[in-house]
Structure formats: C-alpha cells, structure tokens
Amino acid sequence: MLNALSVDVEDWFQVGAFETVIGRDQWDSLERRVERNGEAVLDLFAEAGVKATFFTLGWVAERHPALIRRAAEAGHEIASHGWDHKRVFTLGEAAFREDLKRAHRAIADAAGVEPRGYRAPSFSIDARTPWAHRVLAEEGYLYSSSVAPVVHDHYGWREAPRFAFRPLADAELVELPVTTVELGGRRLAAGGGGFFRLLPYAFSSWAIDRVNRREGRPAVFYFHPWEIDPGQPRVSGAPLRSRLRHYSRLSAMRPKLLKLLKSHKWGRTDDVVRSERGRLA
C-alpha cells in the first residue's frame, strides 16, 4: 500500500516551539540552513528511490526558489505550508485567505507549478476553524493534510476522523489526517515529526504496518529538514521541554529515516489522496 511521505519545508528558527523567543521580525537576521538541509533531503529521497511532497512555506519559497524548483524537477510534489507558519486558528477567515494566497504566489513562482495541496502549520485546522476547508476549496486546493485527530499539548482535533474524509458536502476537497494508532483504548500520534525522532524506530514501523494491514489504509508521515541537521544553532532562551524535543537524536535521524523509507512503500501525498478519493465517492 502506498503511504504518503512529506517534508514540511521550514528553517530551524521557524518552528512553533520557538515562537515565543524568536520573533518573525528576527527571521531575516538569522542563519538560513533550509536550502542545504533541503538538498540533503533530496539526496535522502534519491538514495531511497522515493517521491514525496514538499509542504513549503511561502517565506522559504520566496528566498530559496532554486531549492523548490529542484524538488519539483526531481518529481516531487510541491504543496503549501502557508506563508510564515502562523497557526490557522490564530488567523481568522480573512487573514487565513490572505496567508494562503501570498504563499501560493511565492510557491507557484518558485516551483513552476501551482500547489494544490495544503498543510496547516502545526496541524492547526481544528474545531476552532470551521471556515478553513471552505477557504481552501474556494482557493482551488484539492486536498489538505492539516488535521491531527489526537490530543497533544500544541495541537489536535480529537473528534476528527482518523482517515481521509470530505469535510465539505458540496466540494471535492479531501482532508487526509496525519497518522494515529489506537492502542488499549488510547489514540497515539504516529505520523512522524518529533514522535518518530524521539521514540524507538520499531514503534513507527509497527504503527505504519498496523494502519496498512489491519485497517487497510495508507499512513501519512512527515518530518522537517532541520531534523537531519545536528549542526544547527541552539536557541538558549526556549523552554526546556521545547529544547529537549527539538535537539534530541538529530544525528540518528538520517539513518533512521532511510531505514523507514526502505521498509515501507512511499509516495507523494497527491497520489495517496487520489487513491483515497475513490473510496469516498
């Protein structure tokens, strides 16, 4: 079964965990590592022989169009991760539409193709944003992968379906939530990011197999370019919990990812959405 592989293209200083200590007005003064790290991700995908989706910040696409173009030319899907990583539930409907449009232009200019998929920063489409999927459909998006049907301290929409669904009765837009597993009455996030980096390899690999074989559905997995960059600058003022999450096991990440990419079948998110759409019709 084809699983959806994705990378959320943002730099080390753009993560939600550091939002309180690094303001957006500082971003342009910081060392940018996303291009080099993005190249390393392209090398990793080439080595594993997989195609994936690059959910790209407009802010990054505007400054590093060559990286985005190279990813598109290598056969990867280029999709949107919004303009500058503001969570959707902090924006309101009109500001969300503006954020989406601004990111769309920068990404389309860089990639040479229009993005048709969207991932909300920090999976921030939830019960507080009943207008978000409608705006995405109106702006021409075919799918979203922006919901985490789990409770977490930074995000989550516990009541959302765990697998692909159509959030709007009168539009074709598909929402493809990030992977969770149910175990002993509990629901656990198992779609990547810090969970993959911090937990044993066996957990993620088992979770993907369980979703594929027992539930007959594709897994949706993501990581970030900075997660394979042990040399990134350290942010000293951030909360200890955020620093532990952000910096643990960075050097082990690349071999761990390669193993995962070779152990399961992976592809672009739009291809997985296409196959899921068939069962929703």
User: Interface residues with Zn ion (CB under 5 A)?
Assistant: 8, 10, 121
Closer by beta carbon to Zn ion, 123 or else 217 = 123
Cα end-to-end distance, the chain, whole Å: 19
Q: What are the residues whose beta carbons fall under 8 Å from the beta carbon of 190, sequence distance 6 or more? A: 179, 180, 181, 203, 204, 207, 208, 211, 219
The distance of closest approach from Cβ of residue 121 to Zn ion in the complex, given in angstroms and rounded to an integer, is: 5
Say if residues 162 and 177 touch (Cβ distance below 8 Å): yes
Closer by beta carbon to Zn ion, 34 or else 217 = 34
Closer by beta carbon to Zn ion, 121 or else 149 = 121
The distance of closest approach from Cβ of residue 85 to Zn ion in the complex, given in angstroms and rounded to an integer, is: 6
- 134: amino acid identity, one letter: R
Tokens found for residue 175: 């929402």
Closer by beta carbon to Zn ion, 8 or else 19 = 8
CA atoms of 187 and 183, how far apart (whole Å): 6
Query: How many Cβ atoms sit within 10 Å of the Cβ of residue 88?
Result: 27
The distance of closest approach from Cβ of residue 127 to Zn ion in the complex, given in angstroms and rounded to an integer, is: 20
The distance of closest approach from Cβ of residue 125 to Zn ion in the complex, given in angstroms and rounded to an integer, is: 13
**Which position's Cβ is nearest Zn ion?**
8
Say if residues 121 and 88 touch (Cβ distance below 8 Å): yes
Closer by beta carbon to Zn ion, 141 or else 217 = 141
The distance of closest approach from Cβ of residue 183 to Zn ion in the complex, given in angstroms and rounded to an integer, is: 26
